[in-house]
Chains A and B, each alone.
Chain A
Amino acid sequence: MVGDAISHSVLPGIVIAYLVGSQTQSSLVLIGAAIFGVLTTIIIDFLYRKLKLQEDASIGLTFTWLFAFGVLLISFFAQGNVDLDQECVLFGELGLAFLDKIIIDGRLYGTKSIATLLPAFLLVLMFVVRGFKGFQLNAFQAEFAQTKGIKTGFWHFALMGMVSVVTVLSFESVGAILVVGFLVVPPATAYLLVNDLKRLHIFSLCIATLNILMGYFLALKLNVSISPTIITVSGVVFFLTFVFKTTKFRLFNSPRIPVK
């Protein structure tokens, strides 16, 4: 899971940014994390394609190594007297995201999460819509793209770069489970329902939104923490969709057993 890997392997980037910037400047930390996020995908890709390692082995090797390196950097430079740990930089909590208010002249302009994630969302959305053909072709058959002289490396790293940046930004705001869960579960649910790439994107977004709304209000009602509830709801939705699909499938495709 590349998203999971990135969440760990960005640690050295955060530490280095911290050391360079001498304080937890969040913009610098984000840049450092994003650089290491992209680096992670490059190393994984190298191990997988050039050294022919299995994909899960490539991912496991890369992120454990980078994470360990980050921990070493902390213990070497910070010598235990600095309040820098991955938790405080990375693992946000959705329930607390509203605390980071942006108030200018006594007016509320939203939260820091909105200020970072909304532009990121719009940029990614624009890029995916405009570059749809490139991403589609590269995901389906990079080899064919190559025969047409299309720069497959550009599309691969554009995608991985966006995953890294969005992962890092979202980790800070909503925390680990939600990011990793939402990288996978809504598209997987949508994949059960449609077999058209454009619709897959639209359905994923709709399903994700529904999951969030249902999970959020359920959590409020039950007075439990929000993120795990949303993920639980997402899982249930996936399961129900799966059941719905297989039974429907059976209804329409069941061979007529001749009555004797």
Chain B
Amino acid sequence: MNSIEVHNLTVAYQQLPVLWDVDFELPKGQIIGIVGPNGSGKSTLLKAIMELVPLSSGYVKILDKSLDQMRKHVAYVPQRETVDWNFPASVRDVVKMGRYQPGRLFKRLTDLDNQLVDEAIEKVKLTPFANRQIGQLSGGQQQRVFIARALAQGADVYLMDEPFVGVDVATEKAIMDLLQAMRDEGKTIVVVHHDLQAVTANFDYLVLLNTRLIAHGAIGDVLTSENLQATYGGQLNLFAQLQQIIQEKDFPIREKGFEDK
């Protein structure tokens, strides 16, 4: 079974296509990176999967069913800039929102809900900050609040939009360990991430995106210089750095001409 299937997906903002005929299937129980330059449609892809933007064509399936059937099984962590950090809410208030369900909004949260909330806060090590207003946290702590909310949802598939932005090395390591522990429990985690080095080191599967789908597959299969050039285009400087990374990491380079250089 696939965790997420996307078929013939096209999304346009004001007639301008941002995703063009994207089509892929993602495996279950892996950490999956979505990589592409700024404006390549990564956030839009996650939003399209969550039906937050209208699809011009195509459809999405989650665990072989429609999103409406599977909403309880998917958790979405938006990009950090989209959050109103001045909103009068504490860490615990935000994590609790992970337990809100349509049709249960007029009822109190149960003891089980509250227990799951506390556990989620504990897992991201924010317990000492549980009652603090979210604007009064560091960037890395803010990011973890939203990861905790996703954890509290108890989903099987997690979509995270740049959870590592503004996070220091120690916190990045802690989050990465958390994601790997989740994967080992069979969860699927889809992460938009800019740091190719971290992606190659820690992720299992990769989707390369630049409006069109460039490639998708296991990390070693996808990271070819051809694919990266197609993804990052003219950004040669960046491209050279990427080649460096590939060499350092000793990934099997599948493109022939590359070895000759």
Contact = CB atoms under 8 A, between A and B. Distances in A.
B88 A148 contact: no
Contact of A137 (B76, B90, B97, B135): B97
A176 B74 CA distance: 47
A136 B106 CA distance: 12
Nearest to A135: B105
B68 interface: yes
Contacts of B88: 191, 194-197, 199-200
B71 interface: yes
A191 to B, nearest CB: 7
Contacts of B89: 136, 140, 195-197
A195 B133 CA distance: 6
B84 A150 contact: no
Given A139-B87, A197-B89, A146 B102 contact: no
B68 A149 contact: yes
A147 B74 contact: yes
A141 B100 contact: no
Interface stretch (A20-28, A86-94, A102-110, A126-134): A126-134
B106 A131 contact: yes
A143 interface: yes
Contacts of A133: 100, 105-106
A144 interface: yes
SS class, residues of chain A in contact with chain B: helix
Contact of B105 (A134, A194, A195, A200): A134
A141 B52 contact: no
A60 to B, nearest CB: 23
Interface in B75-125: 76, 78, 82-84, 87-90, 93-94, 97, 100-102, 105-106
A144 B196 CA distance: 28
Interface string A194-206: 1111011000000
Contacts of A139: 87
Contact of A130 (B74, B84, B106): B106
A147 B52 contact: yes
Chain B, interface residues (CB within 8 Å), range? 20 to 34
A151 interface: yes
B50 interface: yes
SS class, residues of chain B in contact with chain A: loop
Contacts of A196: 88-90, 93, 133
Interface in A137-165: 137, 139-141, 143-151
B31 to A, nearest CB: 21
Contacts of B87: 139-140, 197
B101 A146 contact: no
Contacts of B94: 140
Contacts of B51: 146-147
B68 A131 contact: no
Most buried by B among A137, A191, A195: A195
A112 B88 CA distance: 36
A150 B206 CA distance: 31
Nearest to B133: A195
Given A194-B88, A197-B88, A150 B83 contact: no
A146 B90 CA distance: 21
A56 to B, nearest CB: 18
B106 A147 contact: no
A200 B135 CA distance: 16
A150 B105 contact: yes
B84 A140 contact: yes
Interface string A174-204: 0000000000000000010011110110000
Nearest to A140: B87
A228 B230 CA distance: 67
Contacts of A199: 88
Contact of A144 (B78, B93, B102): B78
Given A147-B51, A191-B88, A196-B88, 18 more contacts: A131-B105, A131-B106, A133-B100, A136-B89, A137-B100, A137-B105, A140-B84, A140-B97, A141-B78, A141-B83, A143-B52, A146-B51, A148-B100, A150-B105, A195-B90, A196-B90, A196-B133, A200-B88
24 contacts: A134-B105, A134-B106, A136-B89, A136-B97, A137-B97, A141-B84, A143-B82, A144-B78, A144-B97, A145-B100, A146-B51, A147-B50, A147-B71, A147-B76, A148-B100, A148-B101, A149-B102, A150-B105, A151-B102, A191-B88, A194-B88, A196-B88, A196-B90, A197-B93
